[in-house]
Amino acid sequence: MIFLYLFYTFFKIGLFGFGGGYAMLSLMQGEVVTKYNWVSSSEFTDIVAISQMTPGPIGINSATYVGYIAVANSGFSQPIAILGSITATFAVVLPSLILMIIISKFFLKFQKHPAVEAIFSGLRPGVVGLLASAALVLMDSENFGSFHTEKFQFFASIIIFMGAFVATFKYKANPIITIIICGVIGALIY
């Protein structure tokens, strides 16, 4: 039964996750942490961190990890848990595959049509909102610590975050190098 829930949940996330993987994270957290309790908040934070460091889109990587952990936490064996990761990955990719096949048939023909241009203009603010939501989801006490109980971790996390933001936004630093440097700094500090 968990496989049906996994497929349905990740199909829905893939269908409504406009804006890519980071936009899917808030939807994913709402479903897998809050609604179904397949993973804890700290496990989800770890999944996001691992998904950022592994090659490939973060939404697909996160779905793969969540599918595995959800089935493994339900008491199934490792081979069955691998089937859970395959189910979640396939389900999150399937809506995009279907939509891209349909859109590719018609987009070149209708790309200059005012209705199509209006739809894309309307999607842009929604995508920005979903990306901002994903950033806010990750700015919790799991990642930044608490101002009241862990002041050093809180301020160190803010400084690392701001440094990474300035490096990538203003100086166009390579994101991979930035992730590695932030990881080294985190390992030295914590």
Q: Which of the four pLDDT bands, split at 50, 70 and 90, describes residue 160?
A: very high
Q: Which of the four pLDDT bands, split at 50, 70 and 90, describes residue 123?
A: confident
Residue 12, pLDDT above cutoff 90: yes
Single-letter residue type at 171: Y
Coil, strand or helix at 85? helix
Domain boundary among 99, 114, 138: 138
- Of the candidate ranges 13-17, 71-75, 143-147, the one whose mean pLDDT is the lowest: 143-147
Between the alpha carbon of residue 182 and those of residues 90, 112, 176, the distances in Å are: 32, 44, 10
Same domain, 148 and 176: yes
Q: Which two tokens stand for residue 119?
A: 């739809």
Same domain, 67 and 126: yes
- Of the candidate ranges 35-39, 50-54, 60-64, 65-69, the one whose mean pLDDT is the lowest: 50-54
Single-letter residue type at 113: H
Which pLDDT score is estimated for 69? 93
Which pLDDT score is estimated for 52? 85
Single-letter residue type at 138: L
pTM as predicted: 0.61
Q: In which domain, by residue range, is 149 found? A: 140-190
The residue-averaged pLDDT of 84-113 equals 87
Domain boundary among 138, 160, 176: 138
Q: Which two tokens stand for residue 168?
A: 């990538």
Overall number of domains in the chain: 2
Same domain, 86 and 134: yes
Measured between alpha carbons, how far is 34 from 28 in angstroms, rounded to an integer?
Answer: 9
**Percentage of residues in the chain with pLDDT exceeding 70?**
99
pLDDT greater at residue 90 or residue 115: 90
